[in-house]
């Protein structure tokens, strides 16, 4: 997609990672940047590729995955709008370990590796922001491992629905949602089969917690009261009643919480 240098500079200036950089630095970065539009199911890069760019998701969703020699796949992250990826990979010469593929149509900004490294040499504040982003990603990975070890399948689904609903769920009795990604990708991210995800949705539905129709999910009053209300007001629900309450702020499913805050919310100069 052809975009003028001025427009690319404006887009870069809106990304907090690059915000407030000198005009000549932004212009140099913009010369190596491009807006890329990809259809569903297209690869951005594959395991074994050499790092070429840093990416900013403008719209759509992507999956980060690793594969085994026998063809098995583990989805380790879902990337959402306003997230950066490929940050850590820029600093080494090693091939990429994971693959990134679109799960919906995607528009993203790709920024050439060499121009980012030049900008870091000129602006120490940029390197601090990138280090912060990588540190937050490391913390998020550790939370993911803890969730895989200690959360049940139902707790993971509830956690995802809470994240998708956002903070407004605390003020609503019934919440209408649209699943961001295909159900089979959602299941893979949670570490189980599509059949298991369907069973959990069915159990939550039978318990009066949710209603599912295709990609549309309605969180019923019982779900909101059980999982999203303040702790003092929560009641044990039919599904997962013996489990500890799910933290509304958990970010096991996507790094759009802490990781995004580091990439786009850092204010250090």
Which range is least confidently modeled, 32-36, 59-63, 140-144? Answer: 140-144
Read off the tokens for 52: 């070429």
Which range is least confidently modeled, 74-78, 110-114, 196-200, 250-254? Answer: 250-254
Kindly write down the DSSP assignment for every residue of the chain, as one continuous string.
----HHHHHHHHHHSTTTTT--HHHHHHHHHTEEEEEE-TT-EEE-TTPPP-EEEEEEES-EEEEEE-TTS-EEEEEEE-TT-EESTGGGG--SPPSSEEEESS-EEEEEEEHHHHHHHHHH-HHHHHHHHHHHHHHHHHHHHHHHHHHH--HHHHHHHHHHHHH-GGGGG-SSEEEE-SS-HHHHHHHHTS-HHHHHHHHHHHHHTTSEEEETTEEEE-HHHIIIIIS-GGG----SSSTTSPPPPTT--SSBTTTHHHHHHHH----
Q: Is the pLDDT of residue 169 over 90?
A: no
* CATH no. of 151-233: 1.10.10.10
- pLDDT tens for 256-268 read 443 333 333 333 3
CATH class of the region 5-148? mainly beta
191: left (phi over 0), alpha (psi -120 to 50) or beta: left
Of residues 175 and 69, more confidence is placed in 175
pLDDT at residue 230, as a whole number: 58
Q: Where are the domains of the chain?
A: 5-148, 151-233
Q: Is the pLDDT of residue 73 over 60?
A: yes
């Amino acid at each position: 997609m052809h975009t003028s240098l001025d427009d690319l500079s404006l887009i870069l200036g809106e990304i907090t990672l690059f915000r407030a950089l000198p005009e000549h630095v932004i212009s140099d970065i913009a010369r190596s940047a491009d807006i890329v539009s990809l259809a569903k199911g297209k690869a951005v890069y594959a395991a074994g590729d050499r790092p070429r760019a840093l990416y900013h998701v403008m719209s759509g969703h992507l999956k980060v995955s690793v594969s085994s020699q026998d063809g098995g796949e583990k989805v380790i992250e879902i990337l959402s709008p306003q997230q950066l990826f490929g940050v850590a990979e820029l600093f080494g010469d090693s091939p990429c370990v994971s693959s990134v593929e679109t799960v919906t149509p995607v528009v993203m900004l790709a920024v050439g590796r060499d121009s980012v490294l030049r900008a870091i040499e000129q602006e120490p504040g940029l390197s601090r922001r990138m280090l912060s982003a990588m540190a937050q990603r490391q913390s998020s990975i550790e939370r993911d491992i803890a969730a895989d070890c200690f959360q049940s399948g139902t707790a993971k689904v509830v956690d995802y629905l809470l994240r998708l609903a956002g903070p407004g769920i605390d003020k609503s009795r019934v919440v209408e949602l649209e699943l961001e990604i295909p159900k089979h990708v959602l299941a893979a991210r949670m570490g189980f089969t599509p059949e298991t995800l369907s069973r959990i949705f069915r159990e939550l539905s039978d318990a009066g917690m949710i209603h599912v129709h295709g990609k549309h999910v309605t969180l019923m009053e019982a779900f909101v009261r059980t999982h999203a209300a303040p702790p003092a007001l929560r009641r044990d629900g039919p599904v997962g009643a013996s489990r500890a309450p799910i933290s509304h702020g958990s970010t096991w499913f996507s790094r759009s919480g802490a990781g995004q805050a580091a990439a786009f919310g850092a204010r250090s100069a």
